[in-house]
Amino acid sequence: MAHINLLPWREELRKKKQQEFVTLLALTALLGGLLVFAGHILVNNWISGQQAKNDYLKQEIKAVKERNKEITEIEKTRQALLDRMEVIQQLQASRPRIVHLFDEMVSTLPDGVFLTAVKQTNTNLEFSGKAESNARVSSHMRNINASEWMANSKLTVIQADEKEENSRIRVFTLTASQTDPHAEVNDEESEGGSK
């Protein structure tokens, strides 16, 4: 029988398989490295994209806050203008009352009574003046109470004029309330309309 040595063939097959294994291992490592690198780039792109979105949202939030501040300022300005308009409307509505009040002050003054000062605080009136007698002051108070635009007269002070001796002149101070007959009519109409 012939002797054939198969060892070199086996040795070559083992070397070939080992070389294929190393090649496959190198290719797998390279492919794994490429996948890790690609994953790293992809994740970085996602992070960059999300960071850009976050920055955009921060800018938009800042812009919205600025707009909100502007809106708040505009609302304050609007409210101030509305308050001014209301004051102007009240002044325009009260303008005829002042005219009627001065008219009534003149018509309620009897002969022998002279006013030296008139003070108004809201609807409260204070009259200071001089009269020829106490009866003239009483007449003035009755006229005030009978007036449409004034009521509730109360005498605070009445005394002889200290500047003039042996004189019958009296110095007086009295208070009254300003009324508005039109407001009472409007109140009665609104009460009558709601019944």
The predicted-structure confidence for 2-11, as pLDDT tens digits, reads as follows 666 666 777 8
Q: What is the distance, to the nearest Å, from the Cα of residue 123 to the centroid of all Cα atoms in its chain?
A: 29
Q: How many residues can be counted in the chain? A: 195
User: Packing angle between helix 7-108 and helix 134-146, nearest 10 degrees?
Assistant: 130
Structure tokens at 28: 């797998």
Per-residue pLDDT for 186 more than 70? no
In this prediction, residues 137-165 reach a mean pLDDT of 83
The sheet that has 170-178: what strands, in order across it? 113-121, 124-131, 170-178, 150-160
Which pLDDT tens digit goes with each residue over 122-143?
A: 888 898 998 888 888 888 888 8
Per-residue pLDDT for 74 more than 90? yes
Catalogue the long-range contacts made by 163-171 (C-beta closer than 8 Å, 24 or more residues apart): 168/132, 168/133, 169/130, 169/131, 169/132, 170/130, 170/131, 170/132, 170/133, 170/134, 170/136, 170/137, 171/128, 171/129, 171/130
Per-residue pLDDT for 192 more than 60? no
What is the structure's pLDDT at 165? 66
Structure tokens at 83: 């308050």
What is the structure's pLDDT at 67? 95
CB 108 within 8 A of CB 160: no
126: alpha, beta or left, given left = phi > 0 and alpha = psi -120 to 50?
A: beta
Of 8-22, 24-38, 177-191, the one with minimum mean pLDDT is 177-191
Per-residue pLDDT for 193 more than 70? no
Separation of alpha carbons 19 and 180, rounded Å: 116
Domain 109-178 fold is Alpha-Beta Plaits (3.30.70)
| Three-class HEC string of 10-59 | HHHHHHHHHHHHHHHHHHHHHHHHHHHHHHHHHHHHHHHHHHHHHHHHHH
Higher pLDDT: 188 or 33? It is 33
pLDDT band at 48 (very low <50, low <70, confident <90, very high): very high
Which pLDDT tens digit goes with each residue over 80-92?
A: 999 999 998 888 8
Of 17-21, 25-29, 162-166, the one with minimum mean pLDDT is 162-166
What is the structure's pLDDT at 29? 95
pLDDT band at 25 (very low <50, low <70, confident <90, very high): very high
Element (H, E) at 126: strand 124-131
